[in-house]
Chain A
Amino acid sequence: MGVSRRDFLKGLAIGGTTGYLAMAGASSTVLKDVFVPPRPIGDFDIGECKSVKCTVVSETSWFNNARLVKDMKDAGGLLVNQYIIPWTHEGVKEGYNGDNSGGFCTLIDVELMDGSKKKILLDCGWNTAWMDECLEREGVDKMLENHEIDMLFVTHEHFDHYWGVESVLKHCPDIPIIVPKGFYKEGFDLLKGANFPIAKVKNDYPHTGPLEVRESGKVHPLFPGAASITFDSAIITRVTGEQGLVFNVAGKGLVAITGCCHMGIISFLEEIKHTVKGGDKIYGIQGGLHISPFEDWDPQYDDLIKALPGYGIEILGCNHCTGYLTAEKMVLAGMPVVQGTARFKSKKKLYLGNGDQIMFG
């Protein structure tokens, strides 16, 4: 099939112009402004509180990265159901009595504007022996027995944030518990007293108090100055759903407190910014930021470190799945990362470790 040079050039000109217009149209600012309007700053008023103090009960969820990753890999990869993975509980040199499991748990003390106090236990760790020791060290066991802690706020169903629930329930079986939407049947069964022999997780103290499952996609008020936001994040080991806390500290700004933040810290901050009143001023962050939990890396994390200073954060408390490599890069980038003391099996002073405290307000 032949074509004259003139016809070909004519076709080329028409095709080229059409293609150019299509590309220019698709990428033009005008078209984007019409179809992708910018989100306004949030207007959901959560009230105010005086201050928020966080005590790191445990941030060492496991003690050997390579062993934990190998457990998942040997079981079939990162997508395998966490309740059927034979986790390593002995023979780990740097573990807790040879056990690789530890746990994540933070105690949050909030002073309200009228001077009254609220206490939230954010997550409950993994290894019950380890958690028993940590709760006793920080006096949380007594607080639980005295019903001083208002709620157990479970950020997500992951082994290291939830499977130590027995350590909490043995002291206070009727504690109100809040979980995000997405919990599996196994998770609810554990609360009722189930035993999972392959994963070696059990609970001999069934929960008798109120249990609330929080829907994703909206702001849930907790008490004046405090709220939670749930995300329907898909997470490794077949976990779904995660929630984080936001506090409005009078005269300072908003504070975001996380467990692992699998939804991404910037996604969490953006959600706060565009839903909560005062979202244009994020004062502080505390918790796991889930950037390089296994000291792995991805250039996407460098994107985060370049973008995070743009949020104007004044106090950056982080630990756990943030990763030491991330903290090192954040410090180099001039971010206000709060240093820790590297006690009670936390390895480095780069960020807040076990037994460390941080105050907002």
Chain B
Amino acid sequence: MINLKDHMWLESRVMENKMPQPVRGIVGVLFSFVIFYALWWVFMDPRGILRWYTPQYGYMYVRWILIVAIWQAYVFNFWPFSLKWRETSHPLVTGAVLIAVNFAIVGAVIWGFFYNFLGIYSIPYLSVDKLVSKGMTEFFAREYSSLAILMFAAIASWLSPIVPVCFENHPWQSMKQPARGITVFCVTALFSILAFFCLMHPHYHVLFWPWQEYAAAYPWWFDFARTLHGNFNVGWVMCGTVAIWMLEITFDRYPFVMIKNKIWRGFAGFFGVFLFAILLFVTFNFIQDVAWGPAVEGAKRILAPDWRYLHSGELAIMMLIPAMILNFYFDNGPKKYGVAGNIALRLLIIVISTVIFHWLYYKFSPAMLGTQAAYSHPQQFPMAPGILFICVMLFHNWFMDLWPGKKRIGNIDKVLEDDEE
């Protein structure tokens, strides 16, 4: 019997299909795409209203929207909202309220915590004003601080889902909200901050001149990565983020779900995800070498080693998008060939879709999204629109129960009983 103590509310949902396939899938994708495009035009597009896609400044918000959504749904299980409200309100109402809360938290974290607290009293590169006061051009000050702030979120969106997905919230599964959410948040935040200081802080050693040798370690990855740029870590961390979500949505947590002991399952899942991430990273790097020739040390753009690493992360995101579309909108098919067969076929569909998506993105994004043409220009940053689209799909699923294609008609009884206790 499923128990709320072990599972998230999202997993307890019983959904009814309101449309047949493939209409339901197509309507769902279009619904998300329209919301994505409206948000992109208002906030990001260089031809739009706020024009935040510079690109790091806008991307920073996108990354924080993603991690806050994960906190809302996976870590805090929608607390402080009651599950009753979540279940009885119209999906458009819950969606609007939860998205508004998400945006408010993102704004508070960036402007309150980073810009006006940590950036002022701790690390200047987290505050635009601090960097400008040191004589830096405002545009670059904002880009530098945005990269640092977004990397906290990027690392957190790799590590935060580990606890609910791999450990299924053990050993804190018996705690009630918000205690469990706060505990998982604190533990994952601790590891995320540690990871930031090891993976990204050394990037800032060399970003400023003179080099900050008393404040940050020299990029330790230089000898084998052939770049001082933090993009080496950005690339594989992004692969890690994609690996954890593919374990969740494509692999149905298989094979780790076969391990009975939740703690061992968690550790096996964590290291399994790490290995899968490295495999993705190495493979994507190799594919680029084959396509464009080997990277050249010190080169810019498509030949730059650091851009190749970044693009491996971008390719991973381009792989996650069809994986999510398949799961959210097309019932995660196929499902009739046994676990291994299903997963293999899903992977095949996802890989083919990734190749098509890659081609479509670079063909149409300059006209549709206002991004720079060509693969490797700094202003062509597919992770910004890619992850914004992922955020919108998550909003649609987690906050709006995939309306109008689906309707939540109830929950597994035991879960509701537990919730009322």
Contacts and interface: CB of A to CB of B under 8 A. Distances in A.
Contacts of A300: 227-229, 300, 304, 306-307
A23 B282 contact: yes
A19 B280 CA distance: 10
Interface in B46-98: 46-47, 51, 53-54
Contacts of B348: none
A66 B137 contact: yes
Nearest to B44: A77
Nearest to B229: A299
Nearest to B142: A73
Contacts of B209: 297, 325, 329
Contacts of A31: 286
A13 interface: no
**Interface residues of A, dominant DSSP:** helix
Contacts of B304: 264, 300, 303
A234 B377 contact: yes
Interface stretch (B5-13, B103-111, B288-296, B412-420): B288-296
Interface in A249-270: 263-264, 266-267, 270
A171 B70 CA distance: 65
Interface stretch (A32-40, A94-102, A140-148): A32-40
A303 B227 contact: yes
Interface in A292-341: 294-300, 302-308, 310, 325, 329
A68 to B, nearest CB: 9
B303 A307 contact: no
B257 to A, nearest CB: 6
Nearest to B228: A299
A207 B268 CA distance: 71
B370 interface: yes
Contact of B370 (A36, A79, A297, A325): A79
B296 A267 contact: yes
Interface stretch (B166-174, B200-208, B317-325): B200-208
Most buried by A among B268, B276, B282, B371: B282
Contacts of A72: 139
Contacts of B278: 23
A193 interface: no
Interface string A57-74: 000000001100110110
Given A39-B293, A69-B139, A299-B206, A308 B298 contact: yes
Contacts, number: 162
Contact of B228 (A3, A11, A240, A302): A302
Nearest to A274: B293
B46 A77 contact: yes
Interface in B129-183: 137-140
A116 interface: no
B297 A306 contact: yes
B51 A76 contact: yes
Interface string B297-314: 111110111110000000
B336 interface: no
Nearest to B225: A303
Interface string B367-406: 0001111100101100000000000000000000000000
B304 to A, nearest CB: 6
B409 interface: no
A177 interface: no
A264 B301 contact: yes
B229 A298 contact: yes
B42 interface: no
A279 to B, nearest CB: 14
Interface string A75-88: 01111100000000
A22 interface: yes
B299 A264 contact: yes
A16 B268 CA distance: 12
B112 interface: no
A266 B296 CA distance: 8
A224 interface: no
A236 interface: yes
Given A267-B296, A298-B207, A300-B304, A234 B380 contact: yes
Nearest to A1: B258
B303 A270 contact: yes
A19 B138 CA distance: 46
Contacts of A267: 296, 299-301, 303
A15 interface: yes
Nearest to B259: A8
A21 to B, nearest CB: 11
Contacts of A32: 286, 289, 294
A307 B37 CA distance: 42
Contacts of A11: 255, 258
B229 A303 contact: yes
Contacts of A306: 297-298
B119 interface: no
Given A234-B373, A302-B228, A294 B300 contact: no
A307 B297 contact: yes
B230 interface: yes
Contacts of A79: 46, 53, 370-372, 379
Nearest to B203: A299
B275 A263 contact: no
B46 A80 contact: yes
B283 A26 contact: yes
A66 B294 CA distance: 36
Contacts of A295: 137
B306 A299 contact: yes
A32 B290 CA distance: 8
Given A27-B286, A299-B306, A294 B299 contact: no
Given A35-B289, A39-B293, A70 B139 contact: yes
21 contacts: A2-B258, A11-B258, A19-B275, A32-B294, A36-B293, A69-B137, A73-B54, A233-B301, A236-B372, A264-B303, A266-B299, A270-B296, A270-B303, A299-B203, A299-B229, A300-B306, A300-B307, A306-B297, A307-B298, A308-B298, A310-B297
4 pairs of A and B residues whose beta carbons are closest in the complex: A307-B298, A264-B300, A234-B374, A299-B228
Interface of A: 1-3, 8, 11-12, 15-16, 19, 22-23, 26-27, 31-32, 35-36, 38-39, 65-66, 69-70, 72-73, 76-80, 232-236, 240, 263-264, 266-267, 270, 294-300, 302-308, 310, 325, 329
